[in-house]
Amino acid sequence: MSWKRSSVLALALALAAMVVACTSAESNNAEPRTFETQYQTIRLVQVASGLEHPWSVAFLPDGEMLVTERPGRLLRLSADGSERQEIRGVPEVVARNQGGLMEVVLHPAFEENRWVYLTYSKGDSDETTTALVRGRLSGDELEDLEELFVQDRKSEPGRHYGSRLAWMADGTLLMSIGDRGSDPPRGQDLGDHAGTLLRLNDDGSVPADNPFVDDPDALDEIYTYGNRNIQGLVVDPASGIIWSTEHGPRGGDELNVMRPGENYGWPRATLGLDYRTQEDFPDSEARRIDGMVDPVHEFLPTLAPSGLAMVTTDRFEGWQGDLLAGGLRSRRILRLVVTEDEVIHGEELLLDEIGRIRDVRQGPEGDIYVLTDARNGGLYRIEPN
């Protein structure tokens, strides 16, 4: 995708934001609100409030939901959000800055085995890693808790844990690990889990066909590397394409298609700048390097991405096949019309309407659910009007 086309798209998004801002006034009212978008009139319903830095939501077969709160709580919410119960048996987390209890997903065969998967920051006040556990949900408790994966090298607490999970069609589990912030070149080291996307079996073991299992200098769990901090991850159920959104430094936020064994460049190749100097990132060599994968799209202006969903339901007829990418600092959702090679259209949704977007999910009935990252965060449902 040319940078000229990226600039045109950025301008189109800005104009779309102006249109949305003119059709709805910002409000703290919890009553449902209606918004006109380019292809779909939507209704925004607040399902729950008073959530402390919620990070992820998963949907139980009975219509209830599981929500993680970063300080270390796993909550079960009723379908209408009016009732909540804390689930016991969650591992102890180090809740510092970006760390804490993060992702929650259900096993694809949850109705038979009751497995719930959680990612979290494990360690102490000096050093932490990103870890993965699973437990069987029984009433209001996780039983038979198993530690499935722990990142190989500890780092100072607080930054770039990654932690998104997504199931592939073959039953393997993808898990992102951030570069941990303090030593970016770790993302280029195949002997280090930092700055990677992993692929695991459902019990935490390594699939025999992972791309680096025969490389004595690489860790077997690694699926891709050179990834700064992936916090949006979704697998297209029709094509199997893996989409991710990744934080850059200042600028350089990326949308990528993840392919096994590929190097996505961080930090040797980045479109972002150094936070302090506004100049090229000190560990980078170029904006592009042959043999490293360029992003499908650079988000301009910055997105600070977290949460990524694909619309597969006919509930949103005008959005089918589109990606919905959440933004933290940008306080918006981007609807992206995509091919495997480029973003061909974009629209800004809910700009400054509900705050920092942490998670975006398509629910089992086809509605879109959104979590906001705040001390008094909320769970929202987007439905067609």
Instruction: Indicate which residues carry an active-site annotation.
Output: 160
297 near 305, Cβ under 8 Å?
no
Q: Which residue has the tokens 């939507």?
A: 42
- The DSSP secondary-structure symbol of 123 reads E
Q: How far, in Å, CA of 154 to CA of 157, rounded?
A: 9
DSSP 60-87: -TTS-EEEEETTTEEEEE-TTSS-EEEP
Q: Are 221 and 149 in contact (CB under 8 A)?
A: yes
Q: Residue 333 pairs with which residues in a beta bridge?
A: 326, 349
Question: How is residue 268 written in tokens?
Answer: 């040797």
CA angle 266, 70, 175 (to 5 degrees): 40
Q: Of 65, 56, 246, 52, which Cα lies nearest the Cα of 160?
A: 246
301 DSSP 8-state letter:
S
C-beta of residue 368 within 8 angstroms of C-beta of residue 361: yes
CA nearest 251: which of 299, 321, 212, 217?
299
